[in-house]
Copies of this chain bind each other. A is one copy, B any other.
Amino acid sequence: MPAASAKSRPRKGLRPSPWAARRRPRHEHALKREAVIVAAAHAFRERGYHNTSLDDLAASLRVTKPTLYLYVPNKEAILFECFRAGLAQIQASLDESERAEGAARERLFAFIRGYAAAIVGDFGWCMLRAEDQHLGAAMSRRIKLLKAGIDKRMRALIEAGVADGSIRPCDTRMTAFALAGALNWMGHWYREDATLKPHDIAERFIDVFNRGLRGQD
């Protein structure tokens, strides 16, 4: 299979295509597969899942559709990979917070910063706005399990805070939902050209959740 249309010149507004460069063969397949997933995530965000065809995707990468099939079997599998890549970023931030030292409340807030970054990242839109309904039953179940795992670990972090006294006793499940909701909603309103960067937004949210809104009583 010729890594073919590699010869086409980069067009304005398109990201560099890894098909255009020569790389060490052992990394090449993984790298190109990743490029397919990222390009798809961007296309889904721009046009919606249903309005994006594999032809569009191939065109945006300047390859043929048969070339795409070397890396992914179909559109559903790509969406699954987008979900998974986004959730993996959140999991990585959880790993870090779980391993860190210090009061659980501070570790929860560090996680909030990582979560906010993931939401505005490449896969945020897919993770939040693409419907699980677009996935078949088996894939949808796997995504639900991944999400439930994140929710459980987030709740455990809040429970650890209640245990070490850094978080006051609260309904940990509802607190986790409130936090996740505030963060996930960023996927609906956040725009890259906004003055507040993800980190600033996370700090504002942390302030609200840390101190509450109550003024004088």
- Please tell me if A180 contacts chain B, counting CB pairs below 8 Å: yes
Complex Cα distance, B181 from A188, in Å, reads 9
- Closest B-chain residue to A202, C-beta based? B174
Complex Cα distance, B179 from A162, in Å, reads 22
The 0/1 profile, CB within 8 Å of B marked 1, for residues 200-216 of chain A is 01001101111111111
- Please tell me if A131 contacts chain B, counting CB pairs below 8 Å: yes
Interface residues in A117-171 by Cβ distance below 8 A to B read 129, 131, 133, 158, 161-162, 165-168, 170-171
Complex Cα distance, B167 from A212, in Å, reads 9
Q: How many chain A residues have a CB neighbour from B under 8 Å?
A: 45
Distance (Å) between the CB of A198 and the closest chain B CB? 12
Distance (Å) between the CB of A195 and the closest chain B CB? 11
Residue from B47, B174, B186 within 8 A of A205 (CB atoms):
B174
Residues on B with C-beta less than 8 A from A59 are: none
- Closest B-chain residue to A189, C-beta based? B177
Residues on B with C-beta less than 8 A from A211 are: 168, 212, 214
Residue from B129, B177, B213 within 8 A of A182 (CB atoms):
B177
Beyond known contacts A166-B214, A168-B211: 17 more, CB 8 A cutoff: A105-B214, A165-B216, A167-B213, A167-B214, A168-B214, A170-B204, A170-B213, A171-B204, A177-B186, A178-B182, A178-B185, A178-B204, A178-B208, A181-B183, A182-B182, A209-B209, A212-B213
- Please tell me if A99 contacts chain B, counting CB pairs below 8 Å: no
Provide the main secondary structure of the chain A interface. Answer: helix
In the A-B complex, list the 10 residue pairs whose CB atoms are closest, starting with the nearest.
A181-B185, A212-B212, A174-B204, A178-B182, A181-B182, A48-B133, A168-B215, A211-B212, A181-B181, A171-B204
The 0/1 profile, CB within 8 Å of B marked 1, for residues 74-112 of chain A is 000000000000000000000000000000010000000
Q: How many copies does the complex hold?
A: 2
Residues on B with C-beta less than 8 A from A179 are: 182
- Closest B-chain residue to A201, C-beta based? B174
The 0/1 profile, CB within 8 Å of B marked 1, for residues 38-74 of chain A is 0000000001101100000000000000000000000
